[in-house]
Amino acid sequence: MEMDSLGNIGVVGQSTDLTLVSSSLNTFVGLFENTGFNFTWVREFTVATHGVINPHLVFKADNTQLVAMISSNPLTLVILSTLDGTLLA
């Protein structure tokens, strides 16, 4: 979990909650708005983590991008737009 300078909260992890992800244990990255407990967006990824996930997040200084390491084995990084979760890289 990481907070940007506006109070928005980025999260990354795995879930078995099928209202959040489409397949059990898919990895997800999401953004909570600073005004409540609603997700602004959630993106999920199917990554072979071999049962090990050590996620890390960091916001770009201007809060326009969220960089997430969603797996360390194999190393998997994603860069997402904070506006709508669009995968940028």
Summarised one tens digit per residue, pLDDT across range 21-76 is: 887 777 889 998 888 778 889 898 887 655 556 678 999 999 999 999 887 777 78
Q: How high is the pLDDT of residue 16? A: 82
- Amino acid occupying residue 71: S
Q: How high is the pLDDT of residue 77? A: 86
User: What is the reported pTM?
Assistant: 0.80
Q: Which residue has the higher pLDDT, 14 or 73?
A: 14
Nearest C-alpha neighbor of 57 from the set 20, 16, 8: 8
**C-beta contacts of 8-17 below 8 A and 24+ residues apart:** 8/32, 8/33, 8/34, 8/40, 8/63, 8/82, 9/34, 10/57, 10/59, 10/66, 10/68, 10/82, 11/57, 12/55, 12/56, 12/57, 12/68, 12/70, 13/53, 13/55, 14/49, 14/53
Q: How high is the pLDDT of residue 10? A: 93
Q: Which residue has the higher pLDDT, 72 or 78?
A: 78
